Amino acid sequence: MLRLLIFYLAPWQFSPTVDVCCLAAALLYARGMRKAAQTGEAAGLGPALGFFAGLALIYLSLQSYFDFLSQHMFWVHRLQQLFLHHLGPFLIVLSAPGRVMAQGVPARWRVRWIEPVGRWRPLRAAYRFIQQPFVAAVLFVGLLYFWLIPAVHFTAMLDVDRYRAMNWGMVIDGLLFWQAMLTAQGVGKQQEAAYLVRFLMLFLVMIGQLLLGAYIFFHGTLLYTVYALCGRAWPINPMSDQQLGGLLTWIPPDMMSVIGSLVILHRLTRSQAVASGAAGDLRTAGPWPLTEIDG
């Protein structure tokens, strides 16, 4: 049993980049959790479970036997991309790991590297541009469409460098997209408007994924012939493989958009409740808050 488990979980195509990035993220988060607990600012068990579950999904999708299967069956490839582009990044961003990981960074690293890079204007400008909801949504769906162009997909599945670029692009884009969708700046009406824009963007993303998945599912001819060339890992009819992949491009990603929309609605209602509560405090407190502010 242990030997079988090692076989399925051991790296199929070892990538030191994946190992280093995942290990560094896990260590920074664990170190940040320890420091936060010492100062009484622990994030809680739920966010920690979400972060490590998302990180584990990304790692296993890239460094296990699952990665081999994704190179030899289209439907498994679509499941892999669901983990890399949607579920893994969603869980990580939902856990809001920024503050915890920042506490895990050694002070000398922060002063010497992190803060200078963070102050670099071109990088800050690029990040602000990508984090605009419409831009983030277009990039998110556009990347999905690009890698599923049959000719592009054919070369990506046969070239190691392009294959890794595709997977890393999905992870990075997924993190940036969900960061843009699940966070909104401002206060009061400004924040409410920002959340409503994000809600609309998730609806448009859902439509884009629906159209692509339906096109693949209902297409009458085989679009992705590369899997016939590589050989399918399990016996499955090529058209059934393509149709199942189309469904996995269509339904689970759209469900992720629905879940993201529910998270946004929850945060919107919570923001409204906080705002109304603050307004109620001002109405019932009489002139004292204003007097204190003026003073």
Reported as a pLDDT band with limits 50, 70 and 90, residue 290 is: very low
Tokens of 293: 């502010």
What's the mean pLDDT in 272-283? 58
Assign residue 144 a region: left if phi > 0, alpha if psi is -120 to 50, beta otherwise?
A: alpha
Residue 163, number of CB atoms within 10 A of its CB? 17
Q: How many domains does the chain have?
A: 1
Phi, psi angle pair for 269, to nearest 5°: -65, -35
Residue 129 has pLDDT above 50, yes or no: yes
Q: Is 3 part of a structural domain of the chain?
A: no
Reported as a pLDDT band with limits 50, 70 and 90, residue 283 is: very low
Q: Is 222 part of a structural domain of the chain?
A: yes
More confidently predicted of 275 and 226: 226
User: What is the tens place of the pLDDT at every residue in 69-111?
Assistant: 999 999 999 999 999 999 999 999 999 898 888 888 888 887 7
Residue 286 has pLDDT above 70, yes or no: no
Question: Is-contact 132 64, C-beta < 8 A?
Answer: no
Rounded CA-CA distance 206/195 in Å is 17
User: What is the tens place of the pLDDT at every residue in 196-210?
Assistant: 899 999 999 999 999
Q: What percent of the chain has pLDDT over 90?
A: 61
Q: Is 135 part of a structural domain of the chain?
A: yes
CB-count exposure of residue 251 (10 Å: 0-12, 13-18, 19+)? middle
User: What is the tens place of the pLDDT at every residue in 133-168?
Assistant: 999 999 999 999 999 999 999 999 999 999 999 999
Q: Is 55 part of a structural domain of the chain?
A: yes
Q: In terms of residue numbers, what domain contains 177?
A: 10-284
Tokens of 132: 């605009």
Q: Is 290 part of a structural domain of the chain?
A: no
pLDDT of residue 186: 62
Reported as a pLDDT band with limits 50, 70 and 90, residue 7 is: low
More confidently predicted of 13 and 257: 257
Q: Is 2 part of a structural domain of the chain?
A: no
pTM over 0.75: yes
Question: Is-contact 83 58, C-beta < 8 A?
Answer: yes
